[in-house]
Amino acid sequence: MSFPPDSARQTSVTLEQVSLRFDRGVEALHDLNLRVGDGEFLSVVGPSGCGKSTMLRLVAGLLRPTSGSVHIGGDTKLAGRQTRRDISFVFQQPTLLPWRSVEKNVRLPLELRGRVGDEGRRRVAEVIDLVGLRDFARFYPAQLSGGMQMRVSLARALVTRPSLLILDEPFAALDDITRQRLNEELLALWGRDRFTAIFVTHNVSEAVFLSQRVVVMSARPGRVLAEVPVPFSFPRNAELRAEPDFARLTGDVSRTLRESFR
């Protein structure tokens, strides 16, 4: 895999001086500045309640900032309708419909867009294959493990070929081994399609393993406390986690994160 240098890439998401105060007076974000490059994999860590999910909802156009601006894909409109269609969201819970098979859950976003023709059907089969569930296409969510359900959730998010994938602690409920495996699979999917990814996690090692840059947020009201570049080359595999440089960088990010709790 060889990627153009970051400077050659367009910015995909820009948050400028973004503040957000909820109705009952809670200030979730204060003067947050963040740029995410086109095709970049960015991870975000920060104390619980610091505004990470709020920031993701702003990017997805589900919330509007109290002040400041959110730009998507060079579009100066706040996550306009056209661009919002191009964003997929993966949550901590797989949020699958229990009465639909794997195949029909994955197909849902295409149905909502009226795009289930032959090409849609091929794409559904392709993403199910990509997440390793070919033999489970006819299964129902209750018949799958937590890790498999999350794979379905990922397939459903990718079926529309989004240019921006937003992930809010997607693997937090999974055991360590499953989480690590899904990390590797997610990176393989990203290497293949090169969507822009914003990945929120509590797990520093996961953040470093996955991303090209880790953003550390401050305690609420959230702002960017530090941005740590992750220099390891792609493709990355499980061995990276055992390397001294990996441990050093993870330690650096953890120290910064501990400061953010003050």
Ligand X SMILES: Nc1ncnc2c1ncn2[C@@H]1O[C@H](COP(=O)(O)OP(=O)(O)O)[C@@H](O)[C@H]1O
- The H or E element containing residue 85 is none
Residue type for position 77: K
Residue 93 within binding range of Mg ion, rule CB under 5 A: no
| Closest residue by Cα to residue 79 from 91, 65, 95 | 65
Judged by CB under 5 A, the stretch of 51-59, 110-118, 179-187, 229-237 that binds Mg ion is 51-59
The binder of 153, among Mg ion, ligand X, none, by C-beta within 5 to 8 A per type, is none
C-alpha distance from residue 82 to each of 72, 75, 77, 88, 246 (Å): 10, 10, 10, 13, 39
C-alpha distance from residue 76 to each of 20, 42, 68, 73 (Å): 19, 21, 12, 8
Residue 220 within binding range of ligand X, rule CB under 6 A: yes
Binding mask 47-66 for ligand X (x = CB under 6 A): -xxxxxxx------------
CB 181, min distance to ligand X, A:
25
Say if residues 101 and 139 touch (Cβ distance below 8 Å).
yes
| Closest residue by Cα to residue 252 from 227, 218, 234 | 227
The binder of 28, among Mg ion, ligand X, none, by C-beta within 5 to 8 A per type, is ligand X
Query: Exactly one of 53, 92, 93, 256 binds Mg ion (CB under 5 A); which one?
Result: 53
Identity of the residue, 188 or 219, whose beta carbon is nearer to Mg ion in the bound complex: 219
Residue 24 within binding range of ligand X, rule CB under 6 A: yes
Residue 22 within binding range of ligand X, rule CB under 6 A: yes
Residue 34 within binding range of ligand X, rule CB under 6 A: no
Identity of the residue, 44 or 133, whose beta carbon is nearer to ligand X in the bound complex: 44
Q: Where are the alpha helices (DSSP H) in the chain?
A: 52-59, 81-84, 102-112, 118-130, 146-158, 176-193, 204-210, 244-260
Structure tokens at 53: 């999910």
CB 29, min distance to ligand X, A:
8
How far apart (Å, rounded) are the C-alpha atoms in residues 91 and 259?
27
Identity of the residue, 106 or 150, whose beta carbon is nearer to Mg ion in the bound complex: 150
Residue 26 within binding range of ligand X, rule CB under 6 A: yes
Judged by CB under 6 A, the stretch of 18-26, 208-216, 229-237, 238-246 that binds ligand X is 18-26
How far apart (Å, rounded) are the C-alpha atoms in residues 163 and 203?
25
The binder of 50, among Mg ion, ligand X, none, by C-beta within 5 to 8 A per type, is ligand X
Judged by CB under 5 A, the stretch of 49-57, 85-93, 96-104, 189-197 that binds Mg ion is 49-57
Q: What's the full length of the chain, in residues?
A: 262
Positions in the binding site for ligand X (CB under 6 A):
22, 24, 26, 28, 46, 48-54, 220
